[in-house]
Amino acid sequence: MSQPDYSRLFRLDGRRVIVVGAASGIGRESARAVAAHGATVVAADRDATALAELVSGLPDAEAVELDVLDPGAVRDLAASAGPVDGLVFTPATNVRKALADYTDEEFDRVVNLNLRASFTLIRVFGPLMAARGRGSIVGFSSIRAATVEPGQGVYAATKAGLEGLVRTAASEYGPAGVRVNVIRPGVVETPLTTQLRADADWADAYARKSALGRWARSDEMAGSVVYLLSDASSFVTGSFVTVDGGWTAQDGRFTPPL
């Protein structure tokens, strides 16, 4: 057996990667990181203006305007994108309310984007990758799949559901050489959390919950994306990579005297 070239373990040269949700936040930084490691990036999002700005700064990248809630549009993207080696998807939304206060419309809005759209992406691209005998799918879950708080019920349910889908997809597509994983972020500075961070008390409380004592930056998720797309994770599938600054590693309520 030949010795692996560890200097290229994280390289993505010659690979074509679709990043859904690439116009902002974690998706944007994921696209930048993937491109920096040599991949050809197809950046997809609803925000055509932000996409154009992103791809203008990336080598060999293209922008595709996409409504991920439209299954037909997802199928069209798959048909037009050509052979795809990697898929990253980040879109999500949240309505922070007690369960009893949720409206049917709010429930549908959160479930449709966080879970149904993820299901569509996996079931469209999974078989195509399986037919080629290789590929890596990377979704974004949340620490809320494992630990919750009041007002997070529907969001948490969608993220737990996504992890169930990922485990199943990893089982179904694994024999064909396709890996499927998710990243579990903690609290991250993204457009989704702007309202929370605007409240100083809330922002500070969330920062103090992690062992590192701060919020994550969007770019701090990008390393895990590259890892899961690359040969460095060639035997990793059906897994949840937690990137939460130690939030779920500690109790987090107070520091006891020792």
Question: CATH code at 87?
Answer: 3.40.50.720
What is residue 53's predicted lDDT score, i.e. its pLDDT?
A: 96
Mean pLDDT throughout 127-150?
Answer: 96
Q: Give yes or no for residue 231 having a pLDDT over 60.
A: yes
Catalytic residue among 155, 173, 206, 227: 155
Q: Is 227 a catalytic residue?
A: no
What is residue 195's predicted lDDT score, i.e. its pLDDT?
A: 78
254 in any annotated domain: no
H helix runs in the chain, sequence order: 25-36, 48-56, 71-81, 104-111, 117-132, 153-173, 194-198, 200-209, 222-229
Domain of residue 224 covers 9-249
Which of the 8 DSSP states describes residue 90? -
Number of domains in the chain: 1
42 in any annotated domain: yes
94 in any annotated domain: yes
Q: Tell me the sheet residues that pair with 5.
A: none
Q: Give yes or no for residue 256 having a pLDDT over 60.
A: no
Mean pLDDT throughout 40-46?
Answer: 98
What is the spatial distance between Cα 214 and Cα 203, in angstroms, rounded to a whole number? 9
44 in any annotated domain: yes
Q: Give yes or no for residue 2 having a pLDDT over 80.
A: no
Q: Give yes or no for residue 209 having a pLDDT over 90.
A: no
1 in any annotated domain: no
